[in-house]
Amino acid sequence: MSKVSVIGAGSWGTALAVLLHKNGHEVTVWSKFQEEIDMLREKHEHVDKLPGVILPENMEFTTDLQRAVEGREVLVLAVPSPFTRGTSKMLKEFVKEDQVIVNVAKGVEESTLMTLSEIIEEEVPKAQVAVLSGPSHAEEVGRGIPTAIVVGAKKRKTAEMLQNMFMNDVFRVYTSSDVLGIELGGALKNVVALAAGIADGLGYGDNSKAALITRGSMEIARLGMAMGAKFETFCGLTGIGDLIVTCASMHSRNRRAGILIGQGKTMEEAMAEVKMVVEGVYSAKAAMGLAAKYNVQLPVIEQVNKVLFENKPASEAVKDLMLRDKKIEVIDAQWEE
């Protein structure tokens, strides 16, 4: 049994806290919001974000960050991506040498173009930083629906330790050393999911969505490989797997926001209606910054940016994608004379 703290009491943090407790670990959940902690203590349920998933009586809930950090082997950082840096700054004071922080949010910081693990390493240099990602809606993990996911770390022993900690008969965990590929797949699939949702909101069909998912996956892989990630990662759970589940499910806040935008709402109106952090909005601009830095074309993600931030009509964005210059799909194709 290990002592684990989940830093962030949103839907994903709550679901993972339940999972880790079922695996026999001593779990503490931290939130900066006293009213959220009071709700969890009194109701043993996150009524707003994960209704129906009951938290055990002997799980600890606190707003005291020092109490949540000290003496814990692993910290699960489960705050939304825009708050990763700020929370990491607060953690720095209490984290001990080689304490493990496993980040479970998905995003790229717009101002620096850093991945979330890079941010944590910069702010908390004492920590060993790992990532956990894959096709995994909190609503389903909280209910014990079979799920497969990947843990990425620079050191094999860290990855295998986390694999043993999280894995059970309904939560299968693979390991990987490609932390960069895992993070890029997780962050940028949210942008493609916005595009898929927009197509749904416009009333388009399965053909349209399949095209967006497929071409979007190639954009993510193209950028990732230019940055040094492995192509196989983008074919796996944290690549095409996470992309499929986020583009297809109504659990996906990014897809739901995209649907609303396709129906004519502004980005701000869509985010307000979803009532959760739509991380694809924050990663969209960062993706274009990375594309410029590494000289990679991202036509689907570029059009999403224009819809989000330049008030381009969604139907016009789709039309411009369809009417791009003619392309070949397979590079270095061997033609018969």
Domains 3-177 and 180-322 share a fold: no
Q: How far apart are CA 41 and CA 26, in angstroms?
A: 16
What's the topology of domain 180-322?
A: N-(1-d-carboxylethyl)-l-norvaline Dehydrogenase; domain 2 (1.10.1040)
- What is the bridge-based pairing of β-strands 128-133 and 147-153? antiparallel
- The pTM score is 0.93
**Window from 100-114, 166-180, 261-275 with minimum mean pLDDT:** 261-275
**Window from 155-159, 260-264, 326-330 with minimum mean pLDDT:** 326-330
Mean pLDDT of 72-85: 96
Which residues participate in catalysis according to the annotation? 189
Indicate if the alpha-carbon torsion angle 133, 137, 140, 145 is positive or negative.
negative
Residue 236, pLDDT above cutoff 90: yes
Q: How far apart are CA 138 and CA 6, in angstroms?
A: 14
Of the chain, the percentage scoring pLDDT greater than 90 comes to 83
The pLDDT mean for the chain works out to 94
pLDDT at 55: 94
pLDDT at 175: 98
pLDDT at 280: 86
Instruction: Name 149's bridge partners.
Output: 173
Q: Which run of H or of E encompasses 52? A: strand 50-54
Considering the segment(s) 3-177 as one domain, its CATH architecture is 3-Layer(aba) Sandwich (3.40)
**Segment 101-139, tens digit of pLDDT:** 999 999 999 999 999 999 999 999 999 999 999 999 999
Q: Where are the domains of the chain?
A: 3-177, 180-322
Strands in 147-153's sheet, in edge-to-edge order, are 60-62, 26-30, 3-7, 74-77, 100-103, 128-133, 147-153, 171-176
Indicate if the alpha-carbon torsion angle 95, 98, 102, 106 is positive or negative.
positive
Answer left, alpha or beta for residue 264, where phi above 0 means left and psi between -120 and 50 means alpha.
left
Residue 277, pLDDT above cutoff 80: no
Asked if residue 40 lies in contact with residue 21, where contact means CB atoms within 8 angstroms, the answer is: no
pLDDT at 326: 81
Asked if residue 102 lies in contact with residue 151, where contact means CB atoms within 8 angstroms, the answer is: yes
